[in-house]
Amino acid sequence: MTAEEYTNHVRNVMAGDRYATEVTGVVLREAGDGISVCMLPLDNRHRNARGGVMGGVMFTLADFAFAVAANGACLSAGDPLAWVSTSADVHFLCQPKGDTLTVRCQRVRQGRTRCYYQAVIQDEAGRQVAVVSIEGMHVAEGG
């Protein structure tokens, strides 16, 4: 399977995460084993009362990117999704500028039952606007 075919396969599976893909509007750009790149075109629904991007929007973007990256191996094997986030440490560094956010999520460590990933969110100017450290765990099918 080529990288493009793999990304399309993952995109189809992860379309089931309707909150991230339909409600929030996250778009999967690249998927691989232990890595993902997603983007989010911003509009008024993503803004808080002050006009800034809601922190929850940035967290949703990072959490979705984690789900894609952490589940890469099982998705490529045709297995069910097996990794879920259990905790996250979010650092909002500055208010994004422009109309698009991009996140790159990458595996730092993944064992048999626990994993640790880091997601870096950038605005259109390439400025880091948030860094999210995410811990996850392997769950049994149906668990």
pLDDT tens digits along 7-59: 888 888 899 999 999 999 999 999 988 999 999 999 999 999 999 999 999 99
Question: Domain limits of the chain?
Answer: 3-138
pLDDT at position 7, please? 87
Q: Compute the mean pLDDT over every residue in the chain, rounded to the nearest whole number.
A: 92
Contacts of 11 (CB under 8 A, 6+ apart): 28, 31
Joined together, the tokens standing for residue 127 give 């400025």
Give residue 81's pLDDT band: very low, low, confident or very high (50, 70, 90): confident
- Please report, as a single letter, which amino acid is at residue 121: I
Thinking of the domain 3-138, which architecture would CATH place it in? Roll (3.10)
| Residues 45, 46, 50, 52, CA torsion sign | negative
Global pTM value: 0.92
